[in-house]
Amino acid sequence: MKARTLPLALAMAGALSLALAGCSGTSPDQGEADTGATDSAQEQTAAPDDATSGDDAGATKTFNIGITQIVDHPSLNLIKDGFKDALAQAGIDAVYDEQNAQGDQSNAATIAGSFAGDSSIDMILAIATPTAQAVVQQITDRPILYAGVTDPVDAGLVPSLDASGTNVSGTSDLNPNARPVELVKSVIPDVKTIGVLYSSAEANSEVQVDSYIAEAEPLGIEIKQQSITNSSEVVTGAQALEGVDAILIPTDNTVVSALDAVIQFAEQAKIPLFSADAESVERGTIATRGISYYDLGLRTGEMAVQILRDGVSAGSIPSLVVQDTEMKVNPAAAERMGVTVPEDVLAEAVVVEDAPAE
């Protein structure tokens, strides 16, 4: 595995003090938006007649927004839902061209190229690191908002979490308050080894693995890493972790897209399985202290409103790291994996129920 560096957590936390509302209302510096609707648009959101754009007060404008998503899974879908709702609530009339790369980086590059060549698209929303990297590499003349990116600086999307001065801003799911290793230990006090299954092709996952190692070391816990390169390797990757005391899944798009197979393995092997996102707990992992991906989408949508309605430049909006977390626990999943969640953990958590993996 290539050497990696720890994320600049202190710098990212410091960026939180920059309020989005404090951004100046200057005109976008990435080109003027077109008014035409794309033929490939899959969905239109209705809006009141008083939606305005920039200086065209009182005029209704329909914005064309390209959405590129690396893979289909619940957390990423919630980002998209929250983003659309934020625009609808602000009275923004929008048509969405939604594209899914099906977990393939080459597809993500092709989608980015199609958006780059379509001058009618006013803005791009890139959900997850690989798709964000693809559009940032190809599009410089229109605003890009990323969402669900763990470390946008490490991924090369922005030079820092301050206002980038480019056509890019967005929201990160780094979640510095999650303390996932500590959560595993609170459920399994004598845990000694935690296996981490992740895709080596996802920079966001490598950042999380590094943070797990840093958190585990002072607790005397060993992190056993198991990387994969695509979703077809998820089952064999999980099987390679047999013998660990617990398994922890980061917000890895490749693994989460095949999560049911990992849950099935964990239940059969009686290995407690934890996740970094709340939606996975509802699918059958034991617990997480995670952020709301719907709220992440809402916050990203609020940035879009500033750009589309108020004429703010994307490059003048600081990137945002969402810190609000909520603990969710699935006692039934824990029982199927051979553990009982302590009462003190249940007392501070939202208890969810799920259907067993088939």
pLDDT at 112 over 60: yes
pLDDT at 27 over 50: no
Average pLDDT for 252-278? 94
- Using 50, 70 and 90 to split pLDDT, how confident is the model at 202? confident
Q: What is the pLDDT of residues 32-77, one digit of tens each?
A: 333 333 333 333 333 333 333 444 444 579 999 999 999 988 889 9
Those residues whose C-beta lies under 8 Å from the C-beta of residue 328, and which sit 6 or more positions away, are: 278, 281, 282, 287, 288, 290, 349, 350, 351, 352
Please indicate whether residue 141 or residue 36 has the higher confidence score (pLDDT).
141
- The full set of domain ranges for the chain reads 31-174+293-321, 180-290+326-351
pLDDT at 83: 98
> Phi-psi region for residue 175, left (φ > 0), alpha (ψ -120 to 50) or beta?
left
Cα 129 from Cα 142, distance rounded (Å): 19
Q: Which helix (H) or strand (E) holds 93?
A: strand 93-100
pLDDT at 23 over 90: no
pLDDT at 9: 38
One-letter amino acid for residue 65 of the chain: I
| Residue 200 near residue 1, CB atoms below 8 Å | yes
Average pLDDT for 121-139? 97
Question: What is the arrangement of strands in the sheet containing 222-228, beginning at the earlier edge strand?
Answer: 222-228, 193-199, 246-249, 273-275
pLDDT at 326: 87
**Do 31-174+293-321 and 180-290+326-351 share a fold?**
yes
C-alpha closest to that of 76 among 124, 41, 128: 128
CATH code of domain 31-174+293-321 = 3.40.50.2300
The pair phi, psi for residue 108, each rounded to 5°, is -60, -40
The pair phi, psi for residue 97, each rounded to 5°, is -100, 100
pLDDT at 51: 37
pLDDT at 291: 87
Q: What is the pLDDT of residues 283-315, one digit of tens each?
A: 999 999 988 899 999 999 999 999 999 999 999
Q: What percent of the chain has pLDDT over 90?
A: 68
pLDDT at 201: 84
For the chain, helix (H) and strand (E) counts, in that order, are 13, 14
pLDDT at 355: 57
- Using 50, 70 and 90 to split pLDDT, how confident is the model at 149? very high
Distances in Å between the alpha carbon of 225 and those of 1, 180, 209, 222?
A: 10, 15, 8, 10
How much is the mean pLDDT over the chain? Answer: 84
Those residues whose C-beta lies under 8 Å from the C-beta of residue 38, and which sit 6 or more positions away, are: 64, 66, 95, 97, 118, 120, 121
Q: Domain 180-290+326-351 maps to which CATH number in 3.30.300.30, 3.40.1050.10, 3.40.50.2300, 3.30.460.10?
A: 3.40.50.2300
Its pTM stands at 0.73
First to last CA, the chain: 33
Beta strand pairing call for 246-249 and 273-275: parallel
